[in-house]
Structure 1
């Protein structure tokens, strides 16, 4: 994803679009890192096939996001390519959600959490389709959607971390 997005950081192409792309990558990484490094319970005796194979969705979603962002900046591409962008995000977020079975008990997703999670995603997708003809608006909307999902995710994690006996200490830089 980083390598694919490198073209947005050339001197002649750098701009607002580049900054939003970087923010997308940062927020997606923070969601991934928090889920797979802090919320997962490493003590169950399991082969972890779901954990292993869900990474195909993470990789595919990341690649789809990179390809979409590159193509959406081209004038010749059909504007409904936004659907491909959100299909990639869906794959990424689905991989995160599917690994709930490996989460520590304190971090198991609740029904209300998942409803808000998918509602934010759906609203972002619909807004992206509405503004599909304007690539910068699609980028801003997608970044905003990912940010809101990240904020919702972190709120859930921090709230449940305080309630749990999780030995992992949270340090803010």
Structure 2
């Protein structure tokens, strides 16, 4: 299987690439840095070109440590790269996609106020408690992925 991995030069993406290669898959890396040709994940044409011939998408790209970043830039980058990857994959006929996220969406990592979780370990059912825009990326990405995986077209039923 030929698998497109965004964020392939990052910590998670590089490990995903390593494991896919070890399992015998062909990997197409997409990142703004690293050994692979640079791919601007905000540019639909660049993403579409890099997806050519791929069978699946693993989207690992994102800003991992947003402490000193403007929230608008953070949301623009993380949400729009996810949207662009899924939209271009759908257009290319790719129907298999995996989205990576982090525990930061639950609000404890970058919250402006101290937070605790009702139980540990934190899992998918744990509430997101922070009002910080830094923690809203995950749910936005998950909403988009749900629409892409359950709808005939990526826009129908997505609000």
Q: TM-score range by the shorter chain?
A: 0.3 to 0.5
Which is helix-richer, 1 or 2?
1
Higher RCO (CA-CA < 8 Å; seq separation 6+): 1
TM-score by length of 1: 0.31
Q: Which structure features the higher share of strand residues?
A: 2
TM-score, normalised with respect to structure 2: 0.33
Larger radius of gyration: 1
